[in-house]
Structure formats: C-alpha cells, structure tokens
Amino acid sequence: MKSVEPLRDIKTIKSMRAILKSQNTRNELLFILGINAGLRISDILKLKFEDVINFKNMKVLDYVIIKEKKTGKTKKFYLSSIVQKLIEKYIKEFNSISREMYVFKSNKGENKPISRQHAWYILNTAAEMIGLVKRDDSGKIIQGEIGTHTMRKTFGYHAYQNGTSLELLMDIFNHSCKSETLRYIGITEEEKRDVYLHSNLG
C-alpha cells in the first residue's frame, strides 16, 4: 500500500473542508470526524447512528465505544465539539433515522455504508480541487495522492504538534514503539528535511 502523509497545513485542512461541505454534510463529516478521532477508515465507515446518538433524547454522545475491526480490541474515543455540532446538523437533514442506519450511508438506497474506495475517491477529488493532487492526461495521480489513512495521520500529527505525548499517541494508535508512531504521523521525514534545509554551511 502506498504511504501517504498527513495534512500539515491548517489552511489546507480548511480548504478541504470547504470543498466537502459544498458537496454534502456526509462528506464533510467523514473528513472532520476522520481528522478529529484518529480512527481507521474501516471503523469510521461501520459507525451506525446508535453509536453516536442517544435515541432517548436524540442528543449526540460525548464518547463512542467500538470494537476495532483490525485488532478486535474495544476502543473508546471522544467526540470533540466540532464533530458533535456537525453530527447534529447532519441528523436534521434526514426525515427520520434509525439505530441501525449507517452514519456514512451510501446514496444507492439500501442501508449500506460507502465503500473504502468511495471514501478514497471523495477525499482525492476534494484534494484535486484545491490543487493538492495532480493527474496526468490519462487521469492517473502523479502528485500528492492522499488516502483514507491521511485523516488518521493528520489527527496524530496535529495532536503531537499541540503537545500530546508520544506515549499517549502510541496508546491511541496501538503502536509498540515511539519510532513507529513518529514515522506514522510524518514527524521523522519532516525533521530529516529540516536538518537539510537548515544546513547552510560555508
């Protein structure tokens, strides 16, 4: 699988959000949840409304408990205010929602989530519209491909830059060593680059 980098620039994140928002709230929420929860795309896409909403009062939950698809481990993650507000906006767009309904439901009619491939397409199309992704004449991506892992890495990168300890990020990502986490969130490559860029000897 091709390695992808996090979105380091806040302006890029805001531009991505603006494009996705202009499409629909589902696509905007996919991105905003992805960069604020640090989940794998497989766990994002399997979320149902019963996972994020208290159906007794129709309020968005403060936290969500899931069983990770890849590891089988139980994971608890919190919904930040920006995510909660977007979910509130999203549910108002439906005539009715059920517990079993997927949050990121496909538009094809049946109650199925969008595919991982479609999530990739949504993100890369938005990235292309803001100039982050470039294609050749045949449509093949030749520069700047982002993947569904980009969202998870973006969460980790900005959490680290804002002072979250490596130990805590290791726990969130289920990594076994610090170097793995640094590499995953794109810090190692960035720091290597800075060594060269700041070397102006002679």
Does 1 fall in a domain?
no
Whether residue 26 lies in the annotated active site: no
**Which domain covers residue 124, as residue numbers?**
10-197
Whether residue 198 lies in the annotated active site: no
Quote the number of domains for the chain: 1
For the ranges 82-86, 136-140, 149-153, the lowest mean pLDDT is seen at 136-140
Does 96 fall in a domain?
yes
**Rounded Cα gap, residues 16 and 176, in angstroms:** 32
Whether residue 70 lies in the annotated active site: yes
- Per-residue b or e along 21-41, where b marks 16 or more CB atoms closer than 10 Å to that residue's CB: beeebbbbbbbbbbbbbbbbb
Does 202 fall in a domain?
no
- The overall average pLDDT reported for the chain is 92
Does 37 fall in a domain?
yes
The predicted pLDDT at position 1 comes to 47
Radius of gyration of the CA atoms of the chain, in A: 18
Does 4 fall in a domain?
no
166-179 pLDDT tens trace: 999 999 999 999 99
Does 90 fall in a domain?
yes
* Per annotation, catalytic residue among 149, 153, 157, 160: 149
15-74 pLDDT tens trace: 999 999 999 999 999 999 999 999 999 999 999 999 999 999 999 999 999 999 888 889
Does 79 fall in a domain?
yes
* Per annotation, catalytic residue among 11, 56, 70, 108: 70
Q: Residue 176 belongs to a domain with what CATH number? A: 1.10.443.10
DSSP-derived secondary structure letter, 105: B
Does 5 fall in a domain?
no
The predicted pLDDT at position 27 comes to 98
The predicted pLDDT at position 155 comes to 97
